[in-house]
A and B are shown apart, each in its own frame.
Chain A
Amino acid sequence: MDGSQGIGLAGKVDAQPVKGEDVPPVSMASLKAVPPPQPQKPGDLYQSRVKIYPKRVFGTFRNVKWLVMIVTLGIYYLAPWLRWDRGPLAPDQAILIDIPSRRFYFFFIEIWPQEVYYLTGLLILGALVLFLFTALLGRVWCGYACPQTVWTDLFIWVERLVQGDRNKRMKLDKSPWNADKIIKKSTTHAIWIAIAVATGGAWVFYFADAPTLLKDLFAGTAPLAAYISIAALAFTTYSLGGLMREQVCTYMCPWPRIQGAMFDADTLLVSYKADRGEPRAPHKKGDSWDDRGDCIDCTACVTVCPVGIDIRDGPQLECIQCALCIDACDDIMDKIGRPRGLIGYETLSMPESRARGEPEKVRLLRPRVILYAGLIVLISAFMGYQLMTRGDLDLTVMHDRNPLFVQLSDGSIRNGYTLKIQNKAHRERALTIEIDGLDDIQLSRPLAGDNAEDRLLVGPDGSLSARIFLAVPPATLSRLDNRSGESNLKIAIRDAETGDLIVKKTSFRAPQSRR
Chain B
Amino acid sequence: MTHKPKKDEVTGVYTTGHEWDGITELDNPMPRWWLYILYACIGIAIMGWIWYPSWPVWKDGEMTYLKGVSGYSTRAAVTRELGDIAAERSVYLNEIRDMDLYDIQKNPDLLRISLAGGAAAFGDSCAPCHGSGAQGFVGFPNLNDDAWLWGGTLSDIAQTIRHGVRWEADPETRMGVMQGYLSDGILSRSEVTDVVQYVLNFSGRAENQEAVARGSETFANICSACHMEDGTGNTMFGAPDLTDPIWLYGGDPETIFRSVAYGRAGVMPAWAGRLDEATIKQLALFVSSLGGGTDPVDQ
Contacts and interface: CB of A to CB of B under 8 A. Distances in A.
Contacts of B32: 46-49
B142 interface: yes
Interface stretch (B9-17, B188-196, B265-273): B9-17
Most chain B Cβ neighbours within 10 Å, of A407, A414, A450: A407
A44 interface: yes
B31 A43 contact: no
Interface in A295-354: none
A403 B133 CA distance: 6
Contacts of A499: none
Given A42-B27, A403-B142, A18 B9 contact: yes
B85 interface: no
Given A1-B12, A46-B29, A467-B289, A406 B132 contact: no
Contact of B12 (A2, A244, A406, A416): A2
A26 B131 CA distance: 88
A3 B142 CA distance: 78
A12 B290 CA distance: 74
B283 interface: no
A7 B26 contact: yes
Interface in A242-271: 244, 247, 251
B223 interface: no
Contact of B30 (A41, A42, A46, A410): A46
Given A42-B5, A43-B5, A46-B35, A402 B30 contact: no
Interface stretch (A119-127, A199-207, A361-369, A441-449): A441-449
Interface core residue of A44, A46, A406, A449 (most chain B CB under 10 Å): A406
A469 interface: yes
Given A403-B135, A446-B293, A247 B31 contact: yes
B131 to A, nearest CB: 7
Contacts of B8: 8
Contacts of B292: 406
Interface string B75-110: 000000000000000000000000000000100100
Contact of B145 (A7, A42, A244, A407): A407
B161 to A, nearest CB: 18
Given A44-B29, A47-B29, A407 B289 contact: no
B245 interface: yes
B28 interface: yes
A411 interface: yes
B291 interface: yes
Nearest to A243: B33
Contacts of B297: 446-448
A446 B26 CA distance: 72
B-side binding surface: helix, strand, loop or mixed?
A: loop
Given A19-B12, A414-B291, A416-B291, A45 B133 contact: no
A400 B29 contact: no
B10 A446 contact: no
A1 B11 CA distance: 9
Residue in B29, B32, B105, B297 whose Cβ sees the most chain A Cβ within 10 Å = B29
B207 to A, nearest CB: 19
A43 B14 CA distance: 8
A407 B141 CA distance: 12
B13 A3 contact: yes
Interface residues of B, number: 46
A5 interface: yes
A42 to B, nearest CB: 4
Interface residues of A, number: 45
B246 interface: yes
B20 interface: no
A50 to B, nearest CB: 10
B19 interface: no
A6 interface: yes
B144 A406 contact: yes
Contacts of A251: 31, 34
Interface in B32-88: 32-35
Nearest to B111: A447
A466 to B, nearest CB: 12
Contacts of B28: 6-7
Interface string A377-417: 00000000000000000000000111100111111001010
Interface string B115-148: 0000000000000000111110000001011110
A413 to B, nearest CB: 10
B298 interface: yes
B217 interface: no
B244 interface: yes
Nearest to B246: A409
A406 B145 contact: yes
B117 to A, nearest CB: 15
A247 B33 CA distance: 10
Contacts of A247: 31, 33
A1 B7 CA distance: 13
A402 B132 contact: yes
Contacts of B9: 18
Contacts of B289: 446-447, 467
A5 B291 contact: no
A141 to B, nearest CB: 23
A39 B14 contact: yes
A43 B11 CA distance: 16
Contacts of B15: 42
B31 A47 contact: yes
Given A5-B11, A39-B14, 16 more contacts: A7-B26, A7-B28, A8-B8, A12-B10, A42-B14, A46-B34, A247-B31, A247-B33, A251-B34, A403-B133, A403-B134, A406-B142, A408-B145, A409-B245, A416-B291, A448-B297
25 contacts: A1-B12, A3-B12, A3-B13, A6-B11, A6-B13, A8-B11, A42-B5, A42-B6, A42-B14, A42-B17, A46-B31, A46-B35, A47-B30, A401-B133, A402-B131, A403-B135, A406-B144, A406-B291, A407-B145, A408-B147, A411-B244, A416-B144, A444-B291, A446-B291, A446-B293
Question: Can you list the 8 inter-chain pairs with the closest CB atoms, starting with the nearest?
Answer: A402-B133, A42-B5, A409-B244, A403-B135, A42-B14, A406-B144, A47-B29, A46-B32
